């Protein structure tokens, strides 16, 4: 069965320092993978997606993620955190079987300290 | 502007009183879906629709109904709401969601339901 594990429920960084949000997936097929961001009282917004093209994917707001098949990981990074990056982040994997096309991770809350 | 619109944004109601949360998208998307978000559980899919008149159960369909009579609308119906359905609900849409599932989702801003 396909699954997604976000390894940290909460990450706290200082403004200007790097961000790393970790995501591992399990899939029997070559997956499509997404990262979404959710700001308070808002819906989810797509940050970036991987669909079997380049393994290093660049997204909006300076975020990027690297697909590593050997490690079944899709970690989200940003070189320098900004206060506006404080939000909830979700890793999502698409599946090719079963009842639901998408599986969401439980989310990682990113706090940015001034 | 491309958007997914949910109404109402907030609703407090009582057990057993039927309610409908509407969802409309203006992007001519084939795929639409409903999720509920609960603390510590992330987003869980309730129902989804691949196209008009085609709906399927997600992970947590019990207590909910949906319909897809038009491409743009995908209402969520709670026939007899109960307190365990108190949650934050999101509607989403995307272009055709084949089994490859590589289309990004567009989300509404959410509906916060409280069932007393």
Per-residue pLDDT of A38-69, as tens digits, reads 998 888 999 999 887 788 999 999 999 999 98
pLDDT at B83 over 90: yes
pLDDT at res. A88: 96
pLDDT at A99 over 80: no
pLDDT at res. A96: 57
pLDDT at res. B2: 84
pLDDT at A1 over 80: no
Position B97 confidence tier, pLDDT thresholds 50, 70, 90: low
pLDDT at B26 over 80: yes
A-to-B residue pairs, Cβ atoms closer than 8 angstroms: 67
pLDDT at res. B36: 96
pLDDT at B66 over 90: yes
Q: Does A96 touch chain B (CB under 8 A)?
A: yes
- Pick B58's closest partner by Cβ from A41, A100, A106: A100
Q: How many CB atoms lie within 10 A of CB B114?
A: 14
Q: How far apart are CA A80 and CA B16, in angstroms?
A: 50
**Distance of residue B5 Cα from the nearest chain A Cα, in angstroms:** 11
Q: Does A60 touch chain B (CB under 8 A)?
A: no
- The residues near A33 (Cβ < 8 Å, ≥ 6 apart) are A23, A25, A49, A50, A65, A67, A74, A91, A92, A93, A94
**Distance of residue A109 Cα from the nearest chain B Cα, in angstroms:** 11
């Amino acid at each position: 069965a396909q699954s997604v594990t976000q390894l940290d429920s909460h990450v706290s960084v200082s403004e200007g320092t790097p961000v790393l949000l970790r995501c591992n997936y399990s899939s029997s097929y070559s997956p499509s993978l997404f990262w979404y961001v959710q700001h308070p009282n808002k819906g989810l917004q797509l940050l970036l997606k991987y669909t079997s093209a380049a393994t290093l994917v660049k997204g909006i707001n300076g975020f990027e993620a690297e697909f590593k098949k050997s490690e079944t990981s899709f970690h989200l990074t940003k070189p320098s955190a900004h206060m506006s990056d404080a939000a909830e982040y979700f890793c999502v994997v698409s599946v090719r079987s079963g009842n639901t096309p998408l599986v969401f991770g439980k989310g990682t809350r990113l706090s940015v300290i001034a | 502007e491309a958007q997914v619109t949910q109404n109402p944004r907030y609703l407090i109601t009582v057990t057993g009183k039927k309610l409908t949360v509407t969802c409309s998208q203006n992007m001519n998307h084939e795929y639409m879906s409903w999720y509920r978000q609960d603390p510590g559980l992330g987003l869980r899919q309730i129902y989804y629709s691949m196209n008009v008149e085609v709906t399927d159960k997600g992970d947590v369909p019990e207590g909910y109904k949906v319909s897809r009579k038009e491409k743009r609308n995908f209402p969520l119906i709670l026939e007899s709401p109960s307190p365990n359905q108190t949650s934050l609900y999101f509607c989403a849409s995307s272009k055709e969601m084949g089994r490859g599932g590589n289309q990004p989702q567009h989300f509404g801003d959410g509906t916060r339901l409280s069932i007393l």
